[in-house]
Amino acid sequence: MNVLTAMAGIGDFFAQYGMLLILPALLIIMYFFMIRPQKKQEKETNQMRNNLAVGDEVTTIGGIIGKVVSIKEETCVIETAHERTKIRILKTAISRVDVKAEDSVD
């Protein structure tokens, strides 16, 4: 009979404090599956934007493809198509680098 009352005591403990144990576990799981990968991707994107060089072929978040002509602190100028239209954009508008300048020379 003592074993059954001990088991009932454990059941009462989890009934009262179970949510206090589950909630931190869920927060830790959420951190490792959502927040941590997002921060890693954000770090890689910032590194890509900081390593831009003149001559890189880039694609903007709006889908414009062009070659980087000049770079400043927060902006850069890209040249598009055969008309050689120059567009000044923010570095944050660049979604990816398609061809690096040193790769296009080879």
For the chain, 106 residues long, the average pLDDT of each consecutive 10-residue run is: 58 75 89 91 94 95 95 95 92 94 66
Q: The tokens 């061809």 sit on which residue?
A: 99
pTM attached to this predicted model:
0.68
Q: Identify whether the C-beta of residue 45 lies closer than 8 Å to the C-beta of residue 51.
A: no
Q: How far apart are CA 87 and CA 78, in angstroms?
A: 5
Q: The tokens 């008309």 sit on which residue?
A: 83
Q: Identify whether the C-beta of residue 89 lies closer than 8 Å to the C-beta of residue 70.
A: no
What SS3 class is residue 37? helix
State residue 20's pLDDT score.
83
Distances, alpha carbon 75 to alpha carbons 54, 98, 101, in Å: 13, 18, 18
State residue 3's pLDDT score.
57
- For the segment(s) 53-105, the CATH number from 2.30.30.60, 3.40.190.10, 3.40.50.1000, 3.40.50.12780 is 2.30.30.60
